[in-house]
Structure 1
């Protein structure tokens, strides 16, 4: 709130959440869900645009090397205009929002951990994975194949590491007694992501391109689902941004008072 008769001007942005209730639900709860849904929809829009332009073969068909169409890898779908324009926009926005989710998750867990190396490691790995996403989105396969593939490797490998770190933290901290409820699905998704990543590179090395493309799409969808699960814990927190004219802006994450208790790592 700003007051003209005070020297200190403070602006506070506060969102409060309690139990999951559509009438009183913390709006931050919907950030991971909206991220997952809109990113998935955006990538499928890129796929259908490329299909409409006859640049890739359908995921349900067989790929013939002699044909003029490319196998339906996500990068091939977003390799040429107009699909490449949508692809760059979707991936860049996804990288930005995923980074915000990572920062909020770090702030959420920071007061609960005694040894912060895992929490810091999760933030660092996701940040680097998001940077890899920007390389994938801004350097199309046809323009810079090496840099594009390096960004893909960063995104897949570091993204999978981030998932395992967060799965471990979920069970260790048991935030608001949500540890098992959120932890088990996250471990299953982490296993699926890692399996799809290894299978993707193995199939691609053997030139089984259609199977590799299907595996890549499954990998990305699993990763989006994983980030969407942070809505479970986000509903218990409020994230407060405080700005003033004589000190640095501060961002705080506070747990809502409830009957739930949390363990510390």
Structure 2
């Protein structure tokens, strides 16, 4: 008999599979000789490889098809995780607007991911860059808000420990975003690509940490003939500690 909710498996499985999908795209692009390997200065005889940005790795077919599929699935499942987190906190936070803002921020980030995946960099650069801005910008905001909520809403007396981890991850994500922009502006593309890959991996690690709280909750969808009743419920498996209200 499981002593934790199987929903706890969703965030880490999502993070591992999404990261694996992006790395598969990277290795395929290296194999097809469209990008340089990370940390390499290898050049073609008649020119140079493209820098190994994630968007460039997924720009050329047939890898671009895989890239679109990976980003779309990552955006969809990521949105589901954000909704589950919203439902989990809905009755444990006395400032509902903050919980709503978290959901909206990550929804915007997920929409940005779909733009990145479906509009290739060299084809629709403006739309692609807009998607990158939405994904990184709104995603970073989501991480900081969730870090704050984790510290204040002390679910099962684990909020402070988990909150510290998330604050460190949010700080790392913010540092990577700033460093990425600075390196891009100076034309240091190989270093910028390394920073970009680190940034995305930190995002996936952050989302994977939701397994800690999800292991205490069971999420059910209830269908009834009475349209007045709610259709989405979150029921704790174990008794939660009294939260520190925001």
Calculate the TM-score normalised by the size of structure 1. 0.88
Match of residue 227, structure 2, among 218, 241, 247: 247
Does 2:35 correspond to 1:56?
A: yes
Q: Is residue 119 of structure 2 the alignment partner of residue 139 of structure 1?
A: yes
1:27 corresponding residue in structure 2: 6
Matching residue of 1:7: none
Runs of 4+ residues over 4 Å off in structure 1: 63-66
For the pair 1:231 / 2:238, whether they are aligned, the reply is no
Change (3 A) 1:259 1:93: closer
The whole-number CA distance in structure 2 between the counterparts of 1:125 and 1:116 is: 14
RMSD: 1.7
Instruction: Name which of 12, 22, 27 aligns with 1:43.
Output: 22
Partners of 2:189 and 2:144 lie apart in 1 by 28
The 8 Å contact of residues 59 and 122 in structure 2, kept in 1 or not, is answered as yes
1:149 counterpart residue number: 129
Residues 1:181 and 2:161 aligned together: yes
Structure 1 residues 1-265: aligned runs within 5 Å:
23-62=2-41, 67-247=47-227, 250-258=231-239, 260-265=241-246
Structure 1: tracts of 5 or more residues without a match? 1-21
Closer, same or farther: CA 136–63 of 1 in aligned 2, 3 Å: farther
**2:213, 2:17 → 1: CA distance?**
20
Deviations 1:55-75 (A, max 9, x none): 000002026697242000000
Aligned to 2:168, the other structure's residue is in SS state helix
TM-score by length of 2: 0.95
| SS of equivalent residue, structure 1 residue 244 | coil
Task: State the match for 1:6 in structure 2.
Answer: none
Aligned length: 244
Question: Is the 8 Å Cα contact of residues 4 and 216 (structure 2) preserved in structure 1?
Answer: no
Q: For each residue in 1:153-210, what CA deviation from the matched residue of structure 2 results, as whole angstroms up to 9, or x when unmatched?
A: 1100110000000000000011111111210110000000000001001100100000
Distance 1:190 1:91 in 2: 21
Name the SS for the 1:238 alignment partner. strand
Higher relative contact order (CA closer than 8 Å, sequence separation 6+): 1
Q: Could you tell me which residue of structure 2 aligns to residue 17 of structure 1?
A: none
Unpaired runs of at least 5, structure 2: none
